[in-house]
Copies of this chain bind each other. A is one copy, B any other.
Amino acid sequence: MRGSETEAIETISIALRHHRERAGISLSELAKRAGVAKSTLSQLESGEGNPGVETLWALAVALDVPFSRLVELPTPHTRVIRAGQAPKIRAEHAGFAAGLLSACPAGASRDIYEIALEAGEIRRAEPHQPGTVEHLIVVSGSMRGGPADEPAELEPGDYTTFSGAVPHLYQAVGGPTTAVLLMEHS
């Protein structure tokens, strides 16, 4: 959440509506569960006001989501960042550079894997549950990875992220390949 103050309440209103609809309950029902006035929730979902943390906290608990999910928005689709092309997040000090590939608010569980593919090998994966996101970083060799209908071509140090909820694949191109795979479930 690095936008203007107007965007703060806007983000909150979007998140509230989203999570409430996902839970399949009415505005009145959520307000009742959270112990918050209907008029207050109506206002917040309309993108008005400046709620206190206690109000937001009560709503997060009633929606069974981490607090930060109400104040920060997730970002879901296929993306590729080439080796060395990530946005620099620190002043580039001589000899040291760090680039941000991806950030994620609290709430998702995740597993880190190392994977290895022999020359020419192709591995197809079934769709995982909705909300699964994969982050792939190539360590050595060339490969294709991502959604089965449109995998990205990747070299060492390249990064891609894509929804794990669709058929996807990992394929060695040329010789053997190794990569780091981060799987996230929210």
Which residues of A are interface residues toward B (Cβ below 8 A)?
1-2, 5, 8-9, 12, 50-54, 56-58, 60-61, 66-68, 71-72, 81, 83-84, 86, 89, 93-118, 120-121, 123, 135, 137-140, 156-157, 159, 170, 172, 178, 180-182, 185-186
Q: How far is the CA of A102 from the CA of B110 in the complex (A)?
A: 8
Q: Which single residue of chain B is at the shortest CB-CB distance from A7?
A: B57
Q: In the assembly, how many copies of this chain are there?
A: 2
The 10 closest A-B CB pairs, nearest first, are: A95-B121, A68-B68, A95-B118, A50-B52, A106-B109, A101-B112, A96-B123, A1-B67, A102-B112, A98-B115
A106 engages B103 (CB within 8 Å): no
Q: How far is the CA of A127 from the CA of B35 in the complex (A)?
A: 40
Say yes or no: A186-B106 contact (C-beta < 8 A), given A53-B56, A114-B159: yes
Which B residues are CB-close (under 8 A) to A110? 103-104, 110
Q: How far is the CA of A186 from the CA of B113 in the complex (A)?
A: 20
A111 engages B118 (CB within 8 Å): no
A52 engages B51 (CB within 8 Å): yes
A114 engages B54 (CB within 8 Å): no
B121 engages A53 (CB within 8 Å): no
Q: Which of B57, B58, B137, B178 contacts A180 (CB 8 A)?
A: B137
Q: How far is the CA of A181 from the CA of B102 in the complex (A)?
A: 11
Which B residues are CB-close (under 8 A) to A102? 111-112
Q: Which of B53, B72, B170, B181 contacts A66 (CB 8 A)?
A: B72
Q: Which single residue of chain B is at the shortest CB-CB distance from A102?
A: B112
* Cβ distance A96 to chain B, nearest Cβ, rounded Å: 4
A139 engages B114 (CB within 8 Å): no
Which B residues are CB-close (under 8 A) to A157? 114, 139-140, 178
Q: Which of B98, B113, B140, B185 contacts A181 (CB 8 A)?
A: B98
